[in-house]
C-alpha cells in the first residue's frame, strides 16, 4: 500500500493542468460547500432551539405545580393551596433543580386613557425577578400589603402608549357576574421576550395583590414554577418531583402548556436531518463522478501497472487514496468556511430575522463541537466507503487494451 499511497500523492499534487485536475477541484469545492452548509445548518438549528427554549423557560420555568383541575387549560386561573416550605426544600434538593418560585395568575383588563386590552396578570413573589427587562427596574416589594408596581411588555406598552412611571388602571375580573375590581398601578419596567404568546398576554406584578383580590388566606399561592439547570432533564426531573407531590397537586411541563412552540422546535430536528442527508448525497455524487473520470483518464497507467505485476487491490488503493486527499482537502476548506461564517454571525449578528415570525431579531448560533467532529468523520468515511464501488472498475481493465488506450 505504500506504493499506492506514493502514486496517489504524485497524481493528487501534479502541477500540470489536465481535465481531471479541473474535475478534482470541482469535487473538492462541492465537498467543501457540503461540509460548510452542514456545519452552518447544525449551528443555526441548535441556536434556534437554545434561544427559544431559554426564552420560554426563563419566563415560566420548566414545570408548573398547581392544584389539580379537570380539563384546565394553559391560561386557566389556579385553585389556591397553602405554600409548603418543606415541599419547596425537597424539590430544590433534587438533582438538576435550580429554583422553585411561587406564582399566581388572574385575568385583567388594562386601561390607559381610552385604550383597553385584555391580559393575564402574573403575580410573582419577592426574589423572583424577571431576567428579560428592557427598560426600567424590577418591582419593589413591601413587607406588608402589596406592591402597586407592574411590569408590562414592550408590545403592550406600544399598543396602549405606556411609558415608564405611567399610571394605568387594571381591572381584575371576577366570576359569578360580579363587577371587576379596579386598581391604579404604576409601570416600573418594560420587558420583552420576543415570544408573541407571552408579550401579548402577560403583565407582571405582586402575587400579594392577586391574593388580596381573590380573598385568599395569607400564605396561599396559585402554584410553583420549577426551574432546571437543563431543559433536557425535564423527563427525569418530572418523575422525581412527582414522587414528592401530594395527590391534590398536579405537575405539568412547558411542553404540555405550549405544545405548538415545542412542535415547531421538534420540526427543526427533521430539517437538520434532511439538510445533512442532502449535503452528504451531493458530496458523494461529486466524488463518484470525480473518481470515475480519474480512472478513465488514467486507464493507460492502470494497464502499465497491471503489466508490471501490480495487483488490482493495490491499483484500487491509488484511487481510494486520491479520493481521500480530495475529501480531506474539501473537509478542511468546508470547516474554515462553515465555522468562520458561524463565528462571524455569532459575534456580529449580520443576518437579521423578522421577530414576529422567529421570536428573535437575528439568526442565533450555537456551535456544538461534537457535531462538527461527527460531520467531518462521517463525511470522510461515507465518501471513502462509497468510492470503493466505482474503484472496482479497475478490475475490468485489460492491460493489453489499456496500454493502447489514449
- Would you say residue 41 has pLDDT above 80? yes
For residues 160 and 308, membership in a common domain is answered with no
Within this chain, do residues 29 and 152 fall inside the same structural domain, yes or no? no
Residue 335 lies in a domain: yes
pLDDT tens-digit map of 367-390: 888 889 998 898 888 877 776 766
Of 246, 276, 310, the one marking the end of a domain is 246
**pLDDT at 6 > cutoff 70:** no
pLDDT tens track for 312-323: 667 677 777 777
Would you state the pLDDT for residue 62?
Answer: 86
Lowest mean pLDDT among 11-15, 163-167, 238-242, 301-305: 11-15
Residues 6+ apart with CB under 8 A from 99: 61, 92, 225, 226, 227
CA dihedral 108, 126, 96, 83 (to 10 degrees): -80
Mean pLDDT (whole number) for 44-72: 81
Question: Does the residue 254 lie in any domain?
Answer: no
Q: Which residues on neighbouring strands pair with residue 67, listed in sequence order?
A: 249
**Distance of alpha carbon 289 from the chain centroid:** 36
Domain count, the chain: 2
Residue count of the chain, please give it.
Answer: 406
Which alpha helices (H) appear in 139-258, and where do they start and end? 154-160, 196-199, 207-213, 234-244, 254-257
Instruction: Encode pLDDT of 98-107 as tens digits.
Output: 889 999 988 8
Same-domain status, 164 and 210: yes
Evaluate if residue 89 carries a pLDDT over 60: yes
Q: What is the mean pLDDT of the chain?
A: 80
Mean pLDDT of 155-175: 87
pLDDT in tens, 109-133: 888 877 788 889 999 888 887 778 8
How big is the CA angle at 112 (ends 109 and 118), to the nearest 5 degrees?
A: 20
Q: For residue 50, is it within any domain?
A: yes
Give the whole-number percent of the chain exceeding pLDDT 90: 8
Look at residues 274, 108, 252, 271 and name the one whose alpha carbon lies nearest to residue 185.
Answer: 108
46 and 152 inside one domain: no
H or E element that contains 391: helix 388-391
Q: Given pLDDT bands bounded at 50, 70 and 90, which one contains residue 233? A: confident
Q: Which of 135-144, 242-251, 291-300 has the lowest mean pLDDT?
A: 291-300
Q: What is the mean pLDDT of residues 152-162?
A: 88
135: containing domain: 69-246
Q: In sequence order, what are the residues at sequence separation of 6 or more whose Cβ sits closer than 8 angstroms to the Cβ of residue 384?
A: 320, 323, 324, 327
For the residues 227-241, what does the mean pLDDT come to?
Answer: 83
Distance CA 329, CA 334 (A): 8
Task: Report pLDDT for 398.
Answer: 55
With both helix axes pointing from N to C terminus, report the angle between 259-297 and 19-60 in degrees, rounded to the nearest 10. 170
Please check whether residues 36 and 128 belong to one and the same domain. no
Q: Give me the pLDDT at residue 71, please.
A: 62
Predicted pLDDT at 306: 66
Spatial separation of the C-alpha atoms in residues 302 and 406, rounded to whole Å: 12
* pLDDT computed for residue 336 by the predictor: 93
| φ, ψ dihedrals at 157, nearest 5° | -60, -40
Cα(75)–Cα(222) distance, rounded to whole angstroms? 12
Largest alpha-carbon pair distance within the chain? 102
Q: Do residues 38 and 375 touch, judged by C-beta distance below 8 A?
A: yes
The yes-or-no verdict on residue 262 having pLDDT over 80 is: no
Amino acid at each position: 500500500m505504500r506504493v499506492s499511497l506514493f502514486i496517489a500523492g504524485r497524481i493528487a499534487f501534479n502541477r500540470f493542468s489536465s481535465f481531471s485536475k479541473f474535475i478534482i477541484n470541482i469535487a473538492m469545492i462541492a465537498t467543501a460547500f457540503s461540509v460548510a452548509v452542514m456545519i452552518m445548518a447544525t449551528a443555526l438549528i441548535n441556536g434556534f432551539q437554545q434561544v427559544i427554549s431559554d426564552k420560554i423557560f426563563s419566563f415560566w420555568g420548566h414545570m408548573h405545580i398547581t392544584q389539580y383541575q379537570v380539563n384546565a387549560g394553559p391560561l386557566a386561573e389556579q385553585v389556591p393551596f397553602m405554600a409548603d416550605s418543606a415541599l419547596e426544600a425537597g424539590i430544590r434538593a433534587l438533582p438538576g433543580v435550580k429554583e422553585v418560585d411561587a406564582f399566581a395568575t388572574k385575568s385583567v383588563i388594562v386601561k390607559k386613557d381610552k385604550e383597553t386590552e385584555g391580559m393575564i396578570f402574573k403575580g410573582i413573589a419577592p426574589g423572583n425577578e424577571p431576567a428579560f427587562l428592557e427598560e426600567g427596574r424590577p418591582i419593589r416589594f413591601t413587607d406588608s400589603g402589596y406592591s402597586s408596581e407592574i411590569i408590562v411588555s414592550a408590545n403592550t406598552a406600544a399598543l396602549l402608549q405606556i411609558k415608564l412611571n405611567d399610571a394605568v388602571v387594571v381591572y381584575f375580573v371576577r366570576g359569578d357576574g360580579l363587577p371587576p375590581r379596579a386598581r391604579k398601578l404604576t409601570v416600573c419596567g418594560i420587558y420583552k421576550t420576543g415570544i408573541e404568546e407571552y408579550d401579548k398576554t402577560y403583565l407582571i406584578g405582586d402575587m400579594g395583590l392577586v391574593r388580596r383580590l381573590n380573598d385568599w388566606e395569607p400564605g396561599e399561592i396559585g402554584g410553583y414554577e420549577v426551574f432546571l439547570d437543563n431543559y433536557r432533564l425535564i423527563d427525569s426531573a418530572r418523575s422525581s418531583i412527582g414522587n414528592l407531590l401530594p395527590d391534590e397537586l398536579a405537575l405539568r411541563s412547558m411542553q404540555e402548556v405550549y405544545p405548538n412552540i415545542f412542535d415547531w422546535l421538534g420540526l427543526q430536528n427533521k430539517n437538520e436531518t434532511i439538510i445533512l442527508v442532502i449535503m452528504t448525497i451531493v458530496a458523494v455524487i461529486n466524488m463518484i463522478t470525480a473518481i470515475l473520470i480519474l480512472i478513465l483518464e488514467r486507464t493507460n497507467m492502470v494497464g502499465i501497472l497491471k503489466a508490471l505485476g501490480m495487483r488490482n487491490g493495490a491499483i484500487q488503493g491509488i484511487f481510494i487514496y486520491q479520493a481521500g486527499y480530495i475529501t480531506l482537502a474539501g473537509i478542511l476548506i468546508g470547516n474554515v468556511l462553515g465555522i468562520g461564517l458561524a463565528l462571524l454571525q455569532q459575534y456580529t449578528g449580520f443576518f437579521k430575522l423578522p421577530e414576529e415570525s422567529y421570536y428573535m431579531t437575528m439568526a442565533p448560533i450555537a456551535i456544538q463541537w461534537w457535531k462538527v467532529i461527527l460531520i467531518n468523520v462521517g463525511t470522510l468515511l461515507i465518501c471513502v466507503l462509497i468510492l470503493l464501488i466505482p474503484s472496482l472498475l479497475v478490475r475490468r481493465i485489460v492491460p493489453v487494451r489499456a496500454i493502447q488506450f489514449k
